[in-house]
Amino acid sequence: MAAHIAALNAGDEAGLAATLHFPHYRLSGGSLKTWDGPGQYLADFLARAGNGWHHSAWDSLDVIAAEPGKVHLDVRFTRYREDNSVLGKFRSLWVIAEINGVWAAQLRSSFAP
């Protein structure tokens, strides 16, 4: 999760893709978005992040269930403008899975736009 937020804030598309399994799934606003590969992931985030988005930060990452090979996280995060004023605070459920020896986010359900 630390690598994910660092890559997101740096605009590092390859680094961000390395923190996700593909296909990757996101449920928000009643619709399910699927990315088959990393190509559009960062661009899609930037389009929905909000006018003036500069960076994001985790507020909390709490394990709510875990077993070998999979972890469910209750995640809270904040999106900020460049002057550190808040764009929004959000909550999500992330599922982190080990697939072929790689731990990465497989899916999430988010209240963020």
The reported pLDDT for the residue numbered 83 is 98
* Alpha-carbon span 23 to 31, nearest angstrom: 16
Domain made up of 2-110: CATH architecture: Roll (3.10)
32-51 residue pLDDT tens = 999 999 888 888 999 989 78
The reported pLDDT for the residue numbered 87 is 95
- What is the CB neighbour count within 10 angstroms for residue 102? 10
Q: Partners of 86 in the beta sheet?
A: 80
pLDDT band at 53 (very low <50, low <70, confident <90, very high): very high
Ranges of each domain in the chain: 2-110
The reported pLDDT for the residue numbered 104 is 98
Tokens of 76: 């809270």
The reported pLDDT for the residue numbered 38 is 87
Tell me if the pTM is above 0.85. Answer: yes
Q: Are 73 and 25 in contact (CB under 8 A)?
A: no
Q: Are 90 and 79 in contact (CB under 8 A)?
A: yes
The reported pLDDT for the residue numbered 36 is 93
Q: Are 45 and 8 in contact (CB under 8 A)?
A: yes
